[in-house]
Chains A and B, each alone.
Chain A
Amino acid sequence: MREYLKTGITLMVITIIAALVLSVVYTVVKEPIANAELGAKLKAIREVLTDAETGELLIAAENIPETASELAEFEWFPAGFDSSEGIIYTATSSQGKVESPAYKFVKEDGSEIYVAIGIAVGYGGDVKSMAAFVSGPNGVSLNAIKVLEYSQETPGLGANIANAAVQQRFFPIASKGLDKGVRVDKDAGVTPSGDQIEIRKQEDGIVTVSDVMTGATITPRAVAFSLNAISEFLEKAGVR
C-alpha cells in the first residue's frame, strides 16, 4: 500500500510541477498568441478589401485597421440581430452561420463595404471564410473572399481550398449571381469551361471548381454555403 502511495504522490508532484511551468509559459505567451490571431485576421481583411479586378485597395491604406482597437471601430451591429456565442446570424435557406462581429467600411464615395466571416460545416469541421461585399450601382456584389479556417479538410483534396488560385474561382460575383445563390458547379449540374466559367458565375452564381479541386466537393460547397449565409444576413439587415 505504501508503495502505491509513494508512486502516486511522485506522479502527482511531477504533474503539478509540469502544470505550474506551463501556466507560467501560458501567461507569457498569451499576448503573442492573441496578436498572431489578430494579425492573421487583419491580413485577411486587407486582402478582401482589395479590388478583385484592379488589385487596388478599396479604401485608403491608412484607414485599414492595424490594431484591435482600430478594427473595433468598424464593427457593425445592425438592428434586429443579437449575437450569442459569437454568431450573429444563422442561415435559414441552407446551413451556414455568420460570425459576430461583422464589419462595415465606407469608401471615399460613400458606398459601403460589408466584411463578414461565414461559417459552414465541411468534411471534418468548420470552414470559415471572410468575404467582402461591396454596394455599388448594380446592387451589392461580392468583391473577394479569403478562406480562413479549413484545417480539418482532407489534405491534398479539400485542403486545396487554401490555394489562392482555387479561392479566386469564388470571386467577384455580381449581385445577380448572388441573388440566385452561390453554388458549386457540381451541385448546379453543369460544367462550364472557358468563357462560360466567368459568365455563369456572374449571371447564375455558379462557381466552377471541379477542374481545380478534383474529387472534393464538400469543402468548396461549405464555402458556397457560408457566402450564401452572409448574403442572406445582408438581405435581412436591409442592405441588399
Chain B
Amino acid sequence: MAESKFKVLTNGIFKQNPIFIQVLGMCPTLATTTSAENGLGMGLATTAVLAMSNITISLVRNFIPDKIRIPSYIVIIASFVTMIDMLMHGFIYDLWKTLGLFIPLIVVNCIILGRAEAFASKNGVFRSFLDGLGMGLGFTASLVLLGSVREFLGNGSIFNYHLSDVKMFAMILPPGAFIALGMLAAFFNYLGIKRSKPKKAAK
C-alpha cells in the first residue's frame, strides 16, 4: 500500500471527499454554510483539529490498547477541539461568535474519528498529517462551495462581495441547506456517472 504522499493528500479532496463521497460530517456542513465566509472558517477550524489529532494519534498508536482506542481517540480529539475553541474565542472573536455551538461539535464530526480509526491508527506520522490535511481541505472546499451557493442565491453575494440582487431567502434557511446540498450531491454524482460511462463503453 505504498501510496505516494501526494495521493494521500489529494485523496481527501476528490476521490474520498468527506462530504460528497463519504457522506460524513453532515451536521456542521448544513449548519455553518449560511455564507461562504462561515463555511471557510468552520472548514479551517476542522482542518486544524484533523491535522493535529491525526498527528497525535499516529504518534501514540502503539501505546493505546485496542479495547479503549475509541474513547482515547475521543479524548485526544476533544482536547484539540477545546484548544481551538479557546484560541478562536481569544483571537478571532467575531468568527467564534458566529460559529457558536458548532465549534465544540467538531468533536463529534465523524470525519475526524473516522480518519483516526481508518488511517492515523495504521500509518506513520507524516502520512497521517497529510491525510488529515487532505481530508480537511476537501471538507473546507466543499463547505466553501455550499456556502457560496447558499450565500449567492440567498443574499446575492459571495464572501460579502455583492453580486446580484436576487435574494431567495429560503436558501439561507434550513430547507435551503438540505436542498442545495442535495442538488450539489446529485451534480457530482452525475459527473461521476459520466466519467465511468466512456470507460464502460471502452470495455
Given contacts A26-B86, A151-B100, contact A15 B65 (CB under 8 A): no
CB-based contact A14/B90 at 8 Å: no
CB-based contact A36/B91 at 8 Å: yes
CB-based contact A11/B71 at 8 Å: yes
Q: Would you give the shortest CB distance from B3 to chain A, in whole angstroms? A: 29
Chain B residues with CB under 8 A of A18: 75-76, 78-79
Chain B residues with CB under 8 A of A15: 75
Interface secondary structure of B, over-half rule: helix
Interface status of B174 (Cβ within 8 A of chain A): yes
Interface status of A35 (Cβ within 8 A of chain B): yes
A-B residue pair count with CB separations less than 8 angstroms: 68
Count of chain B residues near A, Cβ 8 A? 30
Chain B residues with CB under 8 A of A86: none
Chain B residue with the shortest CB-CB distance to A159? B34
CB-based contact B90/A29 at 8 Å: yes
CB-based contact B83/A155 at 8 Å: no
Q: Pick the contact of B93 from A26, A29, A40, A156 — CB < 8 Å? A: A40
Give complex CA distance A155, B30 in Å: 11
Q: Pick the contact of A7 from B68, B79, B176 — CB < 8 Å? A: B68
Contact indicator per residue, chain A 83-95, by CB within 8 Å of chain B (1) or not (0)? 0000000000000
Chain B residues with CB under 8 A of A1: none
Interface status of B67 (Cβ within 8 A of chain A): yes
Interface status of B101 (Cβ within 8 A of chain A): yes
Chain A residues with CB under 8 A of B169: 156, 214
Chain B residues with CB under 8 A of A21: 79, 83
Give complex CA distance A25, B96 in Å: 17
Q: Would you give the shortest CB distance from A24 to chain B, in whole angstroms? A: 10
> In chain A, residues 1-53, which have Cβ atoms closer than 8 Å to a Cβ of chain B?
3, 6-7, 10-11, 14-15, 18, 21-22, 25-26, 29, 31-33, 35-37, 39-40
Chain A residue with the shortest CB-CB distance to B67? A7
Given contacts A156-B172, A157-B173, contact A33 B89 (CB under 8 A): yes
CB-based contact A14/B75 at 8 Å: yes
Q: Pick the contact of A10 from B64, B78, B79 — CB < 8 Å? A: B64
Chain A residues with CB under 8 A of B101: 151
Q: Would you give the shortest CB distance from B143 to chain A, in whole angstroms? A: 15
Give complex CA distance A155, B63 in Å: 44
Interface status of B122 (Cβ within 8 A of chain A): no
Give complex CA distance A21, B34 in Å: 34
Contact indicator per residue, chain A 189-204, by CB within 8 Å of chain B (1) or not (0)? 0000000000000000
> In chain B, residues 71-109, which have Cβ atoms closer than 8 Å to a Cβ of chain A?
71-72, 75-76, 78-79, 82-83, 86-87, 89-91, 93, 96-97, 100-101
Interface status of B31 (Cβ within 8 A of chain A): yes
Q: Pick the contact of B65 from A6, A22, A40, A157 — CB < 8 Å? A: A6
